[in-house]
Structure 1
């Protein structure tokens, strides 16, 4: 039976094996990698396959763009058949959005629950390894691998998206398909769900039940995050003051800006805004409708939007919140498990 007793020869030589083959893992690190090698190899394989797929798909997209004339490579001038490339981009971003689910349900939930269910935790902590050391290693090693995988996937996807980011409005940066899988966000999101899964597994102590409960919590986190993601940004407004009648133009949003709110508003002379449904109950003719708007002192249109320049700030703010929650959950797992694990 394998135990966690240190190798005296290896310890005496500063952690190097006596056969001269270089550093060798031992203790909790070796056990954790050995226990979960199937999950870790699967994570590595999926990451590699996704990277290869994104590189190939980006190459096809760039070949298409290179074949276009310079006039067609401007924003709003791409041919209709470019839609298939933007659909591939959006679709792959949607698939990458499942990384937090995989991290929480298939890596986090079974991590501690499996050892508690099979009795491995009791065996490990009865050796020369303390609960604190075991729990710290149990959380740290998968977390590092998850962070590396998420960082690589996010970086390659950003590299794929960058050439067409300003060329088409078919990909909105505020959507979870792009916001949650680029920059620092995939790392923070995956680590949060992983920590949640580990905590649930420790408390419920049953692998299958922990996976089901973790799935529900991760879905709930996704719903809440989708609802409040855009609140991290500072909404700006653009307006006109040349009337709203025939021939009046709506405000023009900056490039890559995404409209917010409930649409277009009426702007009044005092600087206030009225909902676009104002005066819809007026008699059904243009003159009466215009008179109604004039009585409300309407002078133009107003629109709310989020500029793309805020994307990275919003991502770092959101990631900061998620990483803070992750640290709090990890601390809870270690402190609670140190005293009540068995």
Structure 2
């Protein structure tokens, strides 16, 4: 092999190596990225199942028992109400996981191992390093949670009529919106701040989880945050549909086939009426969460400057 060939090979290899903080973050944390993408895909799949086959099963149970009968029967439609809220629970757990990841593997582990300090002595400044650590996960978080929230809202619009009235639908209605996207961003910012302050992986994991738990507890018990017992009533109206397509008042037939036949009922339905308090609560909550996120990010850069100067 000639000398010219030997000189060109290393140069080509260098060109193929990702440069800059953003490619570095993607390369170092590609496992976490794949886990997040799998989580988003799996949760989206559950939402689509609830939109299709799950809704069909629940509608058949509803047409058999009616809304009044479902309270006693506790059948497939009751199970559907539970499954309907599971994606919301998964999104909340995902926010906790983001806070833990940000505090531990994303920040504290690199500080503890010296990887971050090595990057700072080369071409990447501490500020650029932290900006990349925040921007790359934030982009994937926003894209993923926006997708989940949009699909979830579409599911609510299409099949909320299958849910048994009570605290569950009301809580879900007031929890889905822009604040669903802002909450995990706050988890990311809190985790990064804790990781920079603690600089030890395991303690950072513990403190990040605790910090986000405090935020979650506050959201659950204070207005404008959406606690289970804090929302205004979400009014609904139920009716039955005859074979001719006419809408009549729900006669409460339960599973009495003679009653259903007497009224010529082929289907039951319900409509949840929009609440005038939804958008004021959502926008105020989103603003508070984003303000706390900005504060946590500013504190994180302040802590980083002191660490780098020391």
- TM-score for the superposition, normalised by structure 2: 0.71
C-alpha displacement of 1:316: 1.6
Q: Provide the residue aligned with 1:169 in structure 2.
A: 165
Partner Cα distance (1:186, 1:236) in 2? 16
2:108 is equivalent to residue 113 of structure 1: yes
Q: Return the match for 2:120 from 122, 125, 136.
A: 125
C-alpha displacement of 1:325: 0.7
Q: Does the 8 Å contact 2:219/2:226 carry over to 1?
A: no
Q: What do the CA deviations read for 1:266-299 (whole angstroms, capped 9, x no partner)?
A: xxxxxxxxxxxxxxxxxxxxxxxxxxxxxxxxxx
SS of equivalent residue, structure 1 residue 203: helix
C-alpha displacement of 1:18: 7.7
SS of equivalent residue, structure 2 residue 277: helix
Q: Does the 8 Å contact 1:105/1:215 carry over to 2?
A: yes
C-alpha displacement of 1:92: 3.3
Partner Cα distance (2:278, 2:236) in 1? 11
Q: Which runs of 5+ in 2 are unaligned?
A: 1-10, 238-272
C-alpha displacement of 1:174: 4.5
Residue 123 to residue 49, structure 1, CA distance change in 2 (3 Å) = same
Partner Cα distance (1:27, 1:90) in 2? 41
- Higher helix proportion, which one? 2
Aligned-pair RMSD on alpha carbons?
A: 3.3
Partner Cα distance (1:211, 1:54) in 2? 30
2:89 is equivalent to residue 94 of structure 1: yes
Q: Which runs of 5+ in 1 are unaligned?
A: 1-8, 11-16, 238-252, 258-305
Q: Provide the residue aligned with 2:209 in structure 1.
A: 215
Partner Cα distance (2:283, 2:96) in 1? 21
How does 1:326-337 map onto structure 2 within 5 Å?
A: 326-337=293-304
Work out which structure has the larger RCO, using CA pairs closer than 8 Å and 6 or more positions apart in sequence: 2
C-alpha displacement of 1:66: 6.2
Partner Cα distance (1:213, 1:103) in 2? 13
C-alpha displacement of 1:256: 4.4
Partner Cα distance (1:166, 1:191) in 2? 32
Q: What do the CA deviations read for 1:44-95 (whole angstroms, capped 9, x no partner)?
A: 11111111122123212332466589xx59x956855321211211233223
Q: Provide the residue aligned with 1:104 in structure 2.
A: 99
Q: Provide the residue aligned with 2:178 in structure 1.
A: 184
Q: Provide the residue aligned with 1:321 in structure 2.
A: 288
C-alpha displacement of 1:311: 1.5
Q: Provide the residue aligned with 1:285 in structure 2.
A: none
Residue 89 to residue 232, structure 1, CA distance change in 2 (3 Å) = closer
Larger radius of gyration: 1
SS of equivalent residue, structure 1 residue 127: coil
Q: Return the match for 2:30 from 28, 37, 53.
A: 37
| Number of aligned residues | 255
2:193 is equivalent to residue 199 of structure 1: yes
